[in-house]
Chains A and B, each alone.
Chain A
Amino acid sequence: MDFVLYGLTGFVILGSIAALEMKSLLSAVIAVGVVGLGLSIVFLLLGAPDIAITQVVVEVIVVTVLIRAASRVPAETAPLRTGRTRTLAGAGLALVAVGLLVAAFQTLPAFGTQRFAPALWYLEQATELTGAANVVTAILLDFRAYDTLGEATVILTAVVGALAVLRRPSRRKEKSHV
């Protein structure tokens, strides 16, 4: 189980590196899709089907939209500036970051240990108090419904912003087109 998890995580990391390094925009978008789908399997293995479902469907629609957008953009990217100093500095920074992360992870409790008493209270009481058998929904739409309200506001704002930026250039002139 751990083995599968580590393998999948490594796969996701490889996918994200590939997405960064791909020359063609379309290939990068497909690599992003690989990252998202691998991540959803990780969530599923960790016992979070709600997140896994959301991850899959969001990934599908995002990759569709990105492919649609990427297929129109001319496939040319600025050549990456590389040099020995740059590469060495990057590698050094990456090593330092990995060392710090490893040191930080040593201090964390072991993976999967139960440390939080409030979480246990929610698991025991949620169904009885809210009537929702799915504890995730019980928390999202009852105990922490304010968070969900804020989330909905964020999405509404994002959509309004996107529609304002991407609106048709001359709507009044070509009403017949709509």
Chain B
Amino acid sequence: MSDSQGMSIVVRVVTRWLLGLILIFGLAVALYGHLTPGGGFAGGTIVACGFVLAILAFGGSRGPGAFFTRWASALDAIGALAFLALAILGFTAGAFLQQWAARGDAFTLGSAPSIVLLNLAILLKVGAGLFAGFSAIALFEQTADPDTADSEKGADA
């Protein structure tokens, strides 16, 4: 099947060059979400797009996408728990979801550290979550073909 070996050498080489840039761009969109348009959701989606590109280019079983596939659902849960932990940390400043970290100068990266951390948690959550959804669909289709009949028989019995 064409999926297991990925796409042509042109696509694979270009993907190898671009993947790092895509991931850095997604990270930057999330990291500077409190200063410029963007944020954790947009950044996470860009990161997920990068890994989807890797899966499509290299195939499901090789490359950085395969590594991420294995960890996607765990990272998804870690992102959600990190968001919750940061929210609970707000109690140190008085209330749930209160900004707890000391704030730096306005219009700099450190102007709202709590928001930066929350954005990064959302990046992890959304990036891993969307990618987990994609890989579930892609790999489900990939493995369904040979053993659909087999597994259906098993389910009936």
* A-to-B contact residues, CB < 8 Å: 49-50, 52-54, 57-58, 60-61, 64-65, 68-69, 72, 127-128, 130-134, 136-138, 140-142, 145-146, 148-149, 152-153, 155-156, 158-159, 162-163, 166-170, 174, 177-178
Contacts and interface: CB of A to CB of B under 8 A. Distances in A.
Given A131-B111, A166-B136, A156 B125 contact: yes
Interface string B107-129: 10001101100110010011001
B95 to A, nearest CB: 10
Contacts of B140: 166-168
Contacts, number: 155
A49 to B, nearest CB: 4
4 nearest A-B residue pairs (beta carbon): A169-B151, A131-B112, A132-B34, A49-B37
Contact of A156 (B34, B80, B114, B147): B80
Given A132-B111, A155-B129, 16 more contacts: A60-B45, A64-B134, A68-B56, A69-B137, A130-B99, A133-B111, A134-B33, A136-B39, A142-B112, A142-B115, A153-B80, A159-B129, A162-B132, A163-B132, A166-B137, A168-B143
Contacts of B87: 145, 149
Contacts of A138: 34, 112, 115
B interface secondary structure, majority: helix
A98 to B, nearest CB: 34
Contacts of B141: 68-69, 72
